[in-house]
């Protein structure tokens, strides 16, 4: 692996950094407090090509590589990981599945507007009783000949109310277990879809999270992705890439908190000198920097493997598990370094700590990543 970033990658990183530090920062505290969806920011970032970063220009995407994607998500998440997760879901989970496995008609009708950012997408896998265990799908998609009839409830859906396109996973034949699950593209405005209240979350509060209920929703047969029963495989392949996005968010949260902690430590004085000159603080910052750098290399390795067309599932699980846990540790230390100021919203680090917690939970908890990694060890893949 070449550790030197290309000129294009550096330009993408700088563009994301400039937008985050110049624009996202202005209203991030208010959006967090009031759980306001960042509509204008998403529109602006779509114009910059970030909503379809990983999509081929053939389908109106930006055609960037996954390394660039990691760099951009990190920079945006340093300031607002809610924006990071919106972009991550659209790229890694929704656009990926349609571009990789969809038909030409599906790509023309759904992928292009998603890649341009004219629309956003949502990934509907989790259910009240099927979070980490994706095989336990209860939402049904009954085959009615020329269409499916969908009934069920999906939980914790990012972009649940703002998305125009849903990538839905539902059980068509329970006797086949996970081989009976299908992936369907669903128009969010279809008759029979109702949206639950906005979830009042601890962190990432300006991302749009809802439950979605389906009651006799008709989905045309041509909206199925892949062969009958392909849905579970599609979900698992999508999550492999999705974990790179989540790891990048966690990386950004941690590095953003570290930068704020360094800045504060250079300004705050005790006993006649800046606190960064006290060994107790200097050692904390040193440990934090080392953890962040280790996490960054895990994220970039997973991204590089994906770009090379090599297996990256184990690498993405490692990146997600390590980086999410690291972000929780680093943000907690950043609050501690700020002392009492770290506990108030004005200094941002308390928000970053709240955001970090979610990265340990969604896209499969840290424990789920350990299952993936330990199975690879047992199978001799590591």
Helix (H) or strand (E) holding 224: strand 224-225
Q: Picking from 97-101, 189-193, 289-293, 367-371, which range would have the lowest pLDDT averaged per residue? A: 367-371
DSSP string, 121-168: EEEE--BTTBSS-TT----EEEE-SSEEEEEEEEEEEETTTT-SEEEE
127 SS3 class: strand
Backbone angles phi, psi at 166, to 5 degrees: -105, 135
CA atoms of 356 and 23, how far apart (whole Å):
21
**What domains lie within the chain, and their CATH numbers?**
7-120 (1.10.540.10), 122-229 (2.40.110.10), 232-379 (1.20.140.10)
Q: Which of 74, 75, 240, 363 is catalytic?
A: 363
Q: Are 351 and 357 in contact (CB under 8 A)?
A: no
pLDDT, greater one: 217 or 366: 217
pLDDT at 131 over 70: no
How high is the pLDDT of residue 382? Answer: 78
Provide the pLDDT confidence category of residue 380 given band limits of 50, 70 and 90. Answer: confident
Question: CB under 8 Å to 305, separation ≥6 — which residues?
Answer: 311, 312, 315
Confidence of residue 363 (pLDDT cuts 50, 70, 90): low
pLDDT category of residue 370 using cuts at 50, 70 and 90: confident
**Whole-number Cα distances in Å, 138 to 87, 150, 153, 207:** 28, 11, 8, 26
Question: What is the rounded CA–CA span in Å between residue 18 and residue 15?
Answer: 5
Q: Is 173 exposed, middle or buried (0-12, 13-18, 19+ CB in 10 A)?
A: middle
Check residues 129 and 326 and name the one with the higher pLDDT. 326
- pLDDT tens for 272-310 read 999 999 999 999 999 999 999 999 999 999 999 999 999
Q: How far is CA 215 from the centre of its chain?
A: 28
Q: Is 363 a catalytic residue?
A: yes
Cβ(302)–Cβ(319) below 8 Å:
yes
């Amino acid at each position: 692996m070449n550790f030197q970033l290309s000129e294009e990658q550096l330009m993408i990183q700088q563009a994301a950094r400039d937008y985050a530090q110049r624009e996202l920062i202005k209203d991030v505290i208010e959006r967090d407090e009031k759980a306001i969806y960042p509509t204008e920011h998403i529109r602006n970032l779509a114009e910059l090509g970030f909503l379809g970063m990983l999509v081929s220009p053939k389908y109106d995407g930006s055609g960037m590589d996954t390394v660039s994607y990691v760099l951009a998500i990190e920079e945006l998440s340093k300031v607002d990981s809610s924006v990071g997760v919106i972009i991550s879901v659209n790229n890694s989970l929704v656009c990926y599945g349609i571009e990789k496995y969809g038909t030409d008609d599906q790509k023309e009708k759904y992928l292009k507007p998603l890649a341009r950012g004219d629309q956003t997408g949502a990934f509907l896998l989790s259910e009240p009783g099927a979070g980490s265990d994706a095989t336990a799908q209860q939402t049904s998609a009954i085959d009615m000949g020329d269409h499916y009839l969908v009934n069920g409830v999906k939980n914790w859906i990012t972009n649940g109310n703002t998305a125009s396109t849903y990538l839905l996973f539902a059980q068509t034949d329970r006797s086949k277990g996970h081989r009976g699950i299908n992936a369907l593209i669903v128009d969010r405005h279809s008759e029979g879809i109702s949206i639950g209240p906005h979830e009042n979350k601890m962190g990432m509060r300006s991302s749009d999270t809802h439950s979605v209920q389906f009651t006799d929703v008709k989905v045309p047969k041509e909206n199925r992705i892949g062969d009958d029963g392909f849905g579970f495989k599609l979900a698992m392949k999508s999550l492999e890439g999705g974990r790179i996005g989540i790891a990048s968010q966690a990386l950004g949260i941690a590095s953003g908190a570290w930068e704020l902690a360094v800045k504060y430590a250079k300004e705050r004085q005790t006993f006649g000198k800046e606190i960064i000159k006290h060994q107790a603080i200097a050692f904390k910052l040193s440990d934090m920097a080392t953890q962040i750098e280790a996490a960054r290399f895990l994220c970039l390795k997973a991204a590089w493997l994906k770009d090379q067309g090599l297996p990256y599932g184990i690498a993405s699980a490692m990146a997600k598990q390590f980086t999410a846990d690291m972000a929780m540790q680093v943000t907690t230390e950043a609050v501690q370094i700020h002392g009492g100021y770290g506990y108030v919203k004005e200094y941002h680090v308390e928000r970053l700590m709240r955001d970090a917690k979610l990265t340990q939970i969604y896209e499969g908890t840290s424990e789920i990543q350990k299952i993936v990694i330990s199975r690879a060890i047992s199978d001799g893949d590591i």
